[in-house]
Homo-oligomer: A and B are copies of this chain.
């Protein structure tokens, strides 16, 4: 029950309510991107009566604290547990199940030949496709 997210929340001084415990539970069990409404219906299975805005507020809070990662998909915003600070990496993202698979390759480590006057601040690199199990089915 004391997963990484719970620990991180504690260290930020947040109170560990049952709602937050289940949010942490969900993100720890999945490495994919989920929609706010998916989070809410998951929590509601365990805590009937949980309000949508509590879930939403917590997702926003966790994203602001940089504990989860926010990502804008065409169907709307999705969240996933932020990867540990171990090593910079990117992801393969399954377009079917939103599962993510880390990859080590980073384009910015290559010789990009960028115009010198452009000051790089950040970058985004993702590969979309079908993961092994989604491709099989």
Asked if A110 is at the interface (CB within 8 A of a chain B CB), the reply is: yes
Least CB distance, A98 to chain B, in whole angstroms: 13
B113 near A124: Cβ-Cβ < 8 Å: no
A56 touches B (CB below 8 Å): no
* A-side interface residues, number (CB < 8 Å): 34
Q: Determine if A127 and B101 form an interchain contact, defined as CB atoms under 8 angstroms apart.
A: no
Q: In the assembled complex, how far is the CB of residue A13 from the closest CB belonging to chain B, in whole angstroms?
A: 25
A108: chain B residues within 8 A (beta carbon): 127
Bound CA–CA A130/B45 (angstroms)? 46
- Can you give 16 contacting A-B residue pairs, CB < 8 Å? A92-B118, A101-B115, A103-B112, A103-B114, A104-B113, A105-B110, A108-B127, A117-B132, A117-B135, A118-B131, A119-B129, A119-B130, A121-B129, A121-B130, A122-B128, A123-B127
